[in-house]
Structures are given as C-alpha cells and as structure tokens.
Structure 1
Amino acid sequence: MGKSSNITWHELSLSKESRRKQNGHQSFVLWFTGLSGSGKSTVANALAQKLFELDIRNYVLDGDNVRHGLNKDLGFSDSDRTENIRRIGEVSKLFVDSGQVVLTAFISPFLADRQLVRSLLEDDEFIEIYVKCPIEECENRDPKGLYDKARKGLIPDFTGIHSPYEEPLQPEIVVDTNESSVAECVEQIVNYLSSKNAI
C-alpha cells in the first residue's frame, strides 16, 4: 500500500504551550532504554506513581503492552524493531503536544532509532534514561523467562544474545539497577528533573 498524497496538516486550536499552562508543568519524553530484565518497566512505573503524586500528568508506554495493540503487526527483525520505535516516537510526540509527560519503556537497541525519536522533538523534550544492568544479572532475573528461551534457540533475534544492544553514548541519566534500588533510581530521576526545572 502506497502513501496517500491527498493529506493536509490541520492546525489545532490549542497550542502545546496552552496545554502545559493548564497542566501546570512542562511536557517531555522520558525514554527508558536497556536490556530485557534491566528494570525499565519497573522503574518507569514507580516513577509514574511518584509523578502522579506530584500532580504531574503522565502516561507509561510499555514495550510489551504496545505490541498487543498498535504494533501487533510487527516482529523482532531489525526493520520491525526500527518501525516499532518510529511509531512510539510519533505517539510520544503527540503526548508531549498534549502537555503530558510520557514515560517509554522499550529495549530500543539501536542508537540510530533513539536518535530519530530525539529528532522528532524540540530541545529538552527528550530525556534518555539508560537503565544499566549487566546482562548476567538480567539473565539471573529473567522475569519473563526470555533469556532461557533465547539460549535454547526458541526466540531468534533476541537482544543481547543474537542481536546487539547499542549502549547510549550520552544519555541524560544513567540509573544502575544492579547497584541501586528502584526507590533510589526514582529519586535520582526526580532530582534530575527538578534540577532542570522540568517539574
């Protein structure tokens, strides 16, 4: 199916700035990236709860959940992974436009894909959070049993085993879930956001 050429951008009656003013805070993307089992979803959801308590409107986009709906037509080939992240980038941009904070928890293994999402947004609207954890510890945790299946050849193209994970070069935040508790990671992120006057 080809792209339609019969579409025109329709300007909205409310601006991003107006929505931010009504919400009483800035809007931006907190992009959690890291290996499977590193703790991305756990930290993102704990942070979402903390932001909620601070009256900051937010929403978590989780990799598995999004693949149940919006991206259920995608597999795990390199091209499908890229398309997965591109779509999430566009959805994230809509959340930022609506004046909300969006927390995305995706392995997003490729530097170029994360850079593409960053390029969709304005300065200071994309905050990359590298959820750092040694692959050995991720395998020990293996909360979904995926590493075990990958080692047995049941899951092809598994990041960290058969497919590479490209670590962020200059993330805004690095949280080490092997060394810090979830609460400590949340506190670290909140302190960063506060120091940048983002919240």
Structure 2
Amino acid sequence: MTKQGKFIVIEGLEGAGKSTAMATVQRWLEKHGHQVVCTREPGGTPLAEQLRTLVKHADPAEQIAAETELLLMYAARVQLLRNVIEPALAAGQCILADRHDLSSRAYQGGGRQLNEQLINDLRKALLGNTQPDLTLYLDIDPAIGLSRAAHRGQLDRIEQEQLAFFERTRAKYLAIAHSEPGIVIIDAAQSIEQVATALENALAEVML
C-alpha cells in the first residue's frame, strides 16, 4: 500500500519571498528523499491558469465584485485539488504549493472584508478533508513587501490595491496563524539565510 504524501503550503503577502522559500523547501524535501510536486494558486492546471489570468489581469474598465473574485479563486482551487493535489498525495508524493486556501481567508476575508461564514461554507463544501500538513507563512510589513514587488516589474490587479488592503490581509493572516495548528510564522524580514534556516527547522518538526 502506498504511503500517503504530505501537503505543504507557502503563504505570504506580495514581496515576502515565496519563490525563494519554495526553492528552499523543495531542495530540503528532495534531499530527504521525497518526490515533490510543485504547484501554485490560483493556477496549477490549464483551466486554473486561465482563471488566474482572469483574476490578476481582468479588464480594468470592469470592476470585479469581491464575491466574483472569491468564487474564481475557489473554482481554480477545486480544479487543482481534484486533478493534481489529491492524486499526488494518494501516490505518496509531497505537494508543495505557492498559496492555498489560507490566501482566500486572508485576502478575500481580511482584505476584501467578505463575510467569514461565506468563505467557511465554501471551504467545507468544496475542499472536504484535504488540508495542508504544514503551512509556512512568511510574515512581512506590507509596505516593505510592496516595495519589493514593485522592483520585480509591472504590478497585477491585486498588487495595485491600497496599502490598507494589505494591512487588513496581514492582520487576518496573523490572527489565523496564532489561533490554528499547523501554521508556522516565519519572519520574512530576516536575511535569506535566516529565513532558510527557519523554514528547514519547521520542516524537520513535521517531516523527520
């Protein structure tokens, strides 16, 4: 019988260093003998990538309702869950994801201030019992993170939101991380080497 795989998620605001963290975690997992499937949200399947484009690069002439944004996120998430995450876990592989459900709770729940019960109902109805074994939340001051993101190039629709939006998003991230198990807060303002050490220590707690 194949051993069930592990589901690990990297979370954080824009500019928190998720891409670098993904590479660090992937190297650590592979070094310790795990087969790793890397993916991202929204995205990760052909249809989910199309939904990602809709969310991030919609026609600026049309305002996207917060509820529409939430539903697009969950549509993409369900595609990824059914077609990539669940099969990989069943095959004993490690899923390493750049964002998952916590992003919707923080961005749409905190940033957009959507009704928390609406989001919880969607989570229960659509995601079932599949949830991360470990979530690594890279915490950073939104102003610093946005400054970093701006240096990468043109900002997408969500990255162009006001600072207050990201401050609400960060507050929700932290509130959830402090109240629920399985979420480790990493200080993303540290040096790359310090962040890498913190990530590896958190992985060792769960994987070794």
Contact 2:14–2:159 (CA under 8 A) maintained in structure 1:
no
- Tell me which of 173, 185, 190 is aligned to 1:167: 173
**Aligned equivalent of 1:73:** 50
- Tell me which of 146, 153, 167 is aligned to 1:145: 153
5+ residue gaps, structure 2: 56-68, 106-118
* Larger Rg over CA atoms: 1
CA distance in 2, matches of 1:107, 1:158: 18
**Aligned equivalent of 2:77:** 85
SS of residue matched to 1:167:
helix
CA distance in 2, matches of 1:54, 1:131: 23
User: How big is each residue's C-alpha offset from its partner over 1:134-165, in whole Å with a ceiling of 9 and x where there is no partner?
Assistant: 1111111115434xx46xxxx3x448536863
Q: Structure 1 residue 49: deviation in Å?
A: 1.4
Calculate the TM-score normalised by the size of structure 1.
0.66
Q: Which structure has more helix as a fraction of its residues?
A: 2
Q: Structure 1 residue 64: deviation in Å?
A: 7.2
Q: Structure 1 residue 118: deviation in Å?
A: 6.9
SS of residue matched to 2:50:
coil
- Tell me which of 148, 165, 188 is aligned to 1:177: 188
**Aligned equivalent of 2:18:** 40
Q: Structure 2: which amino acid aligns with 1:36?
A: E
Q: Structure 2: which amino acid aligns with 1:140?
A: S
Q: Structure 1 residue 99: deviation in Å?
A: 0.3
CA distance in 2, matches of 1:85, 1:118: 9
Q: Structure 2: which amino acid aligns with 1:53?
A: K
- Tell me which of 182, 193, 201 is aligned to 1:191: 201
- CA distance 1:184–1:57, shift in 2 (3 Å): farther
**Aligned equivalent of 1:4:** none
Q: Structure 1: which amino acid aligns with 2:187?
A: D
Contact 2:9–2:135 (CA under 8 A) maintained in structure 1:
yes
- CA distance 1:107–1:41, shift in 2 (3 Å): farther
The reply on whether 1:53 has 2:31 as its aligned counterpart is yes
